[in-house]
Structure 1
Amino acid sequence: MWALRRASANSIRAQGLNVAAFRACAGLGQFSGHTEDKSKNCEHRGLMRDRWITSNACQCTVHFPNKFSAGSRSLSSEAGAKSGGEEEDDLEEGFSELETPDPSVSTGGGVEDSDSSSDSESDLSSVDENTEETLEAELLKGAGEMSSAKKLGHSPLLKLLFEESGSSLSKALDNYATEGKDLNRAEVYHALLNLRRRKMFSKALQLSEWLDKREDFELTERDYASRVDLIAKVRGLHKAETFIDTIPKSHRQEVVYRTLLANCVSLTNVAKSEEIFNKMKDLGFPISPFTCNQLLVLYKRTDKKKIADVLLMMEKDDIKPTLFTYQLLIDTKGLSNDIIGMEQIVETMRAEGVKPNFRVQATLARHYAFGGLKEKAEAILQEMEGDDLNSNRGVCPILLLIYANLGKADDVERLWKVCEPKPREGDYLAAIEAFGKLKNVEQAEAVYHKMEKSIKKLSTRHYSCMLKVYAENKMLGKGKQLLKQMGNSGCQIGPVAWDAVVKLYVDAGEVEKADSILLKATSQNQQKRPLFSSYISILDQYAKRGDIHNAEKMFLRMKQAGYVSRARPFSALLQAYINAKVPAYGFRERMKADNIFPNKGLAGQLAQVDAFSKNAVSDLLD
């Protein structure tokens, strides 16, 4: 059907994907059946295992639950053991929890990033992050009006939306319509697109709800799906799911449910994501590549072994992989440090006639850089630059950051000189971060001050970018000054800013201060969840000290925030016990209760704390 099988180091068949090929694509290692204990654990949660599927090609057995077999498109969160691999939890917030918006799109300056959802979880890999942009394209797809909408610039409607807020916005929109001003679909889509890209989801929702009340504006299926997305972002998944029940049945189709699924995935809510997917299957909706990509994103973060299950389902239902599918698989390989496997997927992609875009190239270059393959990374970066960088400005933010990771100060300077005459917002942020990585704080400050003058009102992301530089260079004093400036500006402080502040104090050695700041921030604003990296950076410091008491407290707070459905927090907590040289009684049971099964690294840590237990008994006997 499609040639991902070529990524496998095993023999290539003429037709059909085998499990070995999936394993090679996803960086999964050897598949095996579940142990008896794991099966019992799943059955206890109300799941039945009634089917075994054997792949003779790879001499392994894959055990699926009743709700997820090769003949169905249904998933269960309890199927299979959790991948023990650690997630890529470094903060790469750039813009939001989802990847940097297309650098070729200038969002301009002077727009307040005022939404409650503007600072969301950002502990994901840079590939996962463009899901938001993909969702945006899906929701605003199709309308021939979009091409003309792009030419509207700052339309009267958009200007009104920027100027008004709260209850006055609805009145202003009523007046706008009363005055007989144009409300065609192109202008509405243009306004929604701009609000989304500025993360002004509350205003976008207000506009959507206002349009719903107007008889002269007929809502389409994608309009309803867009509304579901905005409700999920502003009011939560439960409200969004409730709203779906009110949508006319003729418009309550697959795109509406897959939009809700995308929001479940963005929050890494495995149980709800799988529940929505199963509901889509039960309703008989066709499963789109977009939906499959959402599942790949989810399992890439939480359980890499299930990536093979999704690929098997795609083959069974003849769902063609998209460019983003390949990018996800390439990134998964790269994160597993499997460069050969990553390159095999690229070969497969090219053989299928899919040309890598700049995002795929950036993913490859990033992994080559972190893998120490500088020559390969530089070759890709030069290809991305092209012959005339001035006409290819959209790639500059990506190039700046990867050159900085390679330690190429001259190239970072060269690229900034290209951007400096007329920088875009993404250029500013990337340059600040790049100079910070190179320890050139003075130049990072120069770029920041230039940005400060050119942008009417700085938002959280602007301040946070500079705060990260001060944190990485352990400049606590300057960081505090910038925090005061941020507070005086009236800028809304959310999870991204909290993370920058936490990192600032953690890197300065003031872990207790970082802990108290995070605790105070979450108690003052319970609607926002701190980033995973905020919690884990503090937990790691307590672990290094062997401070079990505070490590357990932080672990509990992470669990309450919904961040313990992965191996990383357990590993950090185990390290606290190891460093304290104290046995961790019942730890395996704690992990099993959260459906976390030890990988090689965790198994080694558990063996160390078990050794402490034996030594303690020996001491008593002696």
Structure 2
Amino acid sequence: MWALRRSVVPLRTHGYHVGATRTCCAKLDTLTTDLEHKVETCSTQFVSTGYRAWSKRSYQSLSSHLKFSSASRGLSSQAGAESSEEGSVEDGFSELESPSSEIAEGKTVKEEISEDLNSEPELSDDDEAEVSLRELGLSDTDQNAVEEISSKKATDSGLLKVLMAATRNSLDSELNKWDEEGKPLGRSEISLAMLNLRKRRWYGKALQFSEWLESKDKITYAERDYASRLDLIAKVRGLQQAEKYIKGIPESFRGEVIYRTLLANCVTASNLKKAEEVYNKMRDMEFELTAFSCNQLLLLYKKLDKKKLADVLLFMEKENIKPNLFTYKVLIDAKGQANDIGGMEQLLETMKEQGFEPDISTHSTVARHYVYGGFNDKAEAVLKDMEGSDLKKNRGACRSLLLLYADLGKADEVDRVWKVCDPNPRMDECLAAIEAWGKLGKIEEAEAVFNKMTKIWKNPSAKHFTTLLQVYANNKMLMKGKDLAKRMHECGCRIGPWTWDALVKLYVQAGEVEKADSILNKASQQNQIKPLFNTYMHIMDHYARRGDVHNTEKMFHRLKQAGYVGRIRQYQTLLQAYIKAKAPAYGFRERMKADDVFPNKLVAAQLVQIDAFRKTAISELLD
């Protein structure tokens, strides 16, 4: 662990400088596989942030003035991936995609279930895998129920069909009818339905179903049931309502799983201030903290404040919390993002020494950073390792290979990998192939894969169209994008945030920013669905490049209205608008401070530039 922590320390230099003092006198035993050691004295203090290390006997909270800045969905990676992002505790956040109440015309419920459960989740701007419900402690712990669930297919669940076919207004009456007719409503049937509603991201319906079950006393609540409800409330109604719900949970059930679930949703929302409070509360309540909880902070710091990664590792070292595979993945990705390729390679070796073999996800991360760093030879070597000796037997790697070979600009390799998939393609491979061909500018090939996909899956969903729509947007093909959007509407597809994102980008790339702005405005008025952060940024970036301060400020305000506050990127863009317009931005430092945002190196340089435009008494007279 000491070696792991030391390897991350240089990341501090990539963040905004804070005055720091540290005294650390440690006597380390020989580093063993379980990473145990003895620390005689160790204290860490950051003058600016007040970050402190803790001991098991003294549960000290993070200083109340420790401030974070915000960086889409369910739970992402270790954190969670489906809820929207926000930095303000007061603002709730809604489902990222609320499916329409009715099944699209022409689709049976069975087709809808099969289609969505055999396909990848919608595209996102932060594409990280969902943490498992089992890892969060929300899965059914009854082994018999687990076995029964695993033996069933979603398409065989009558209860799930009822839940999917009913509108939210009619759901309660349909469930009452199901119950009155004496149809199965045991723990396994409920768990199967709830699991598949979550897979489809139908969190609103899942929450309504959960509330109906409680009102009818259909299940005896255990801690995992309260945690599951809490998770749904956080996703649908926001963190504030989730905290209120916790107060109503019987004290005997308010354990570590409950607060771990809340912490994961804070991380999903990129709400560092609230995540800090929850983490400190878990320590104050003397819950045993696991690698999972520490990984939440690592995931956030990786996105927002890499200089603090080493502090989390120091804490894990003191508390003898062993890093797991995900810990290494986060740190490897952080090193890659900082363009510290040597450090990334060192961490990879340390991970192997500790008995963790890199999986496809880890290899993909390493290869991606090699590509972006210009180390193409090293990237290709990693891709060959991913392929193995027989790609047909290693189909799980195809999706990543398609995208990474496209990043390398190797059309022949993309074609070779696709030929392995082509005879019997999987959904995720088709979507990856469309995206890969789009990156290479091979529009006809991308369209051919799309057409093949629509023949295999007779009723294409929004994710099929959106992937190709993104290709058209990236290649500035407005007319084709419009035609595809019309076709999508005719197929009765549900329109969600990723479709809006593609449409907005399509019009921005074509220079029709006003139309893009209009689409975003209509999308943001739909209360059940919240546009992605990047969707706003497509338009805001364009205004900033033009030096249009008024409209850039307008988009900045709309971002805050949507709950996206505390992100350094939106401040960078706003500052760029002022710089382009050669206009002073009065009180900008105070604005950032009010939102708990602290300048990084780039923003600090931008602030110096806008100071140069500040008018003095003499300049005003001369003007």
Range class of TM-score, shorter chain: 0.7 to 0.9
1:149 is the counterpart of 2:118: no
Match of 1:409, as an amino acid? Answer: A
The alignment covers a number of residue pairs equal to 569
SS at match of 1:139: coil
Equivalent residue number for residue 49 of structure 1: none
Quick one: structure 1 residues 119 and 492, their matched pair in 2 at CA, closer, same or farther if it must change by over 3 Å?
Answer: farther
SS at match of 1:260: helix
Which residue, 459, 462, 467 being the options, matches 1:460? 462
Asked whether the 8 Å contact 2:46–2:52 carries over to 1, the reply is no
Q: Distance in 2 between matches of 1:353 and 1:26?
A: 27
User: Residue deviations 1:328-379, cap 9 Å, x none?
Assistant: 1111111111111111111111121122122111111111121121222122
Equivalent residue number for residue 129 of structure 2: 130
Query: What is the deviation of 1:387?
Result: 2.4
SS at match of 1:517: helix
Equivalent residue number for residue 104 of structure 1: none
Which residue, 268, 273, 276 being the options, matches 1:274? 276
Quick one: structure 1 residues 180 and 321, their matched pair in 2 at CA, closer, same or farther if it must change by over 3 Å?
Answer: same
SS at match of 1:530: coil
Which residue, 379, 390, 393 being the options, matches 2:392? 390
SS at match of 1:54: strand
Asked whether the 8 Å contact 1:113–1:198 carries over to 2, the reply is no
Q: Distance in 2 between matches of 1:182 and 1:527?
A: 31
User: Residue deviations 1:234-265, cap 9 Å, x none?
Assistant: 23223322222333333221111111221121
Equivalent residue number for residue 519 of structure 2: 517
Asked whether the 8 Å contact 1:119–1:496 carries over to 2, the reply is no
1:340 is the counterpart of 2:339: no
Q: Distance in 1 between matches of 2:392 and 2:245?
A: 47
Asked whether the 8 Å contact 2:68–2:597 carries over to 1, the reply is yes
Query: What is the deviation of 1:28?
Result: 4.7
Equivalent residue number for residue 6 of structure 1: 3
Match of 1:54, as an amino acid? Answer: T
Asked whether the 8 Å contact 1:31–1:62 carries over to 2, the reply is no
Equivalent residue number for residue 33 of structure 1: 19
**How large is the RMSD of aligned CA atoms in angstroms?**
3.5
Asked whether the 8 Å contact 1:540–1:572 carries over to 2, the reply is yes
Asked whether the 8 Å contact 2:123–2:463 carries over to 1, the reply is no
Q: Distance in 2 between matches of 1:390 and 1:26?
A: 43
Q: Distance in 2 between matches of 1:81 and 1:264?
A: 13
Q: Distance in 1 between matches of 2:194 and 2:44?
A: 49
Quick one: structure 1 residues 208 and 230, their matched pair in 2 at CA, closer, same or farther if it must change by over 3 Å?
Answer: same
Q: What pairs with 1:241-260 in structure 2 (closer than 5 Å)?
A: 241-260=243-262
Match of 1:489, as an amino acid? Answer: C
Q: What fraction of aligned residue pairs are identical, expressed as a percent?
A: 52
SS at match of 2:23: strand
Q: Distance in 1 between matches of 2:398 and 2:359?
A: 15
Asked whether the 8 Å contact 1:195–1:201 carries over to 2, the reply is yes
Q: Distance in 2 between matches of 1:531 and 1:465?
A: 16
Asked whether the 8 Å contact 1:404–1:412 carries over to 2, the reply is yes
Equivalent residue number for residue 483 of structure 1: 485
Q: TM (normalized to structure 1)?
A: 0.82
Match of 2:146, as an amino acid? Answer: M
Equivalent residue number for residue 224 of structure 2: 222
Asked whether the 8 Å contact 1:467–1:501 carries over to 2, the reply is yes
Which residue, 62, 67, 70 being the options, matches 2:46? 62
Q: List alignment gaps of at least 5 residues for structure 2.
A: 27-41, 85-109
SS at match of 2:382: helix
Quick one: structure 1 residues 138 and 392, their matched pair in 2 at CA, closer, same or farther if it must change by over 3 Å?
Answer: farther
User: Residue deviations 1:59-89, cap 9 Å, x none?
Assistant: 9963486785423463457426769xxx69x
SS at match of 1:239: helix
Quick one: structure 1 residues 500 and 109, their matched pair in 2 at CA, closer, same or farther if it must change by over 3 Å?
Answer: farther
Q: Distance in 2 between matches of 1:240 and 1:561?
A: 19
Equivalent residue number for residue 441 of structure 2: 439
Equivalent residue number for residue 37 of structure 1: none
Equivalent residue number for residue 359 of structure 1: 361
Equivalent residue number for residue 66 of structure 2: 79
Equivalent residue number for residue 579 of structure 1: 580
Q: TM (normalized to structure 2)?
A: 0.82
Q: For structure 1, which segment, 207-216 or 318-327, has the greater mean C-alpha deviation from structure 2 after superposition? A: 207-216
Equivalent residue number for residue 195 of structure 1: 197
User: Residue deviations 1:128-149, cap 9 Å, x none?
Assistant: x224447776422754343553
Query: What is the deviation of 1:526?
Result: 3.2
Quick one: structure 1 residues 123 and 74, their matched pair in 2 at CA, closer, same or farther if it must change by over 3 Å?
Answer: farther
Equivalent residue number for residue 11 of structure 1: none
SS at match of 1:612: coil
Query: What is the deviation of 1:430?
Result: 1.2
Quick one: structure 1 residues 368 and 614, their matched pair in 2 at CA, closer, same or farther if it must change by over 3 Å?
Answer: same
Asked whether the 8 Å contact 2:82–2:235 carries over to 1, the reply is no
User: Residue deviations 1:283-337, cap 9 Å, x none?
Assistant: 2222222111112222222322332332222222221111111111111111111
Q: Distance in 1 between matches of 2:541 and 2:588?
A: 18
Match of 1:249, as an amino acid? Answer: E
SS at match of 1:493: coil
Q: Distance in 2 between matches of 1:360 and 1:26?
A: 23
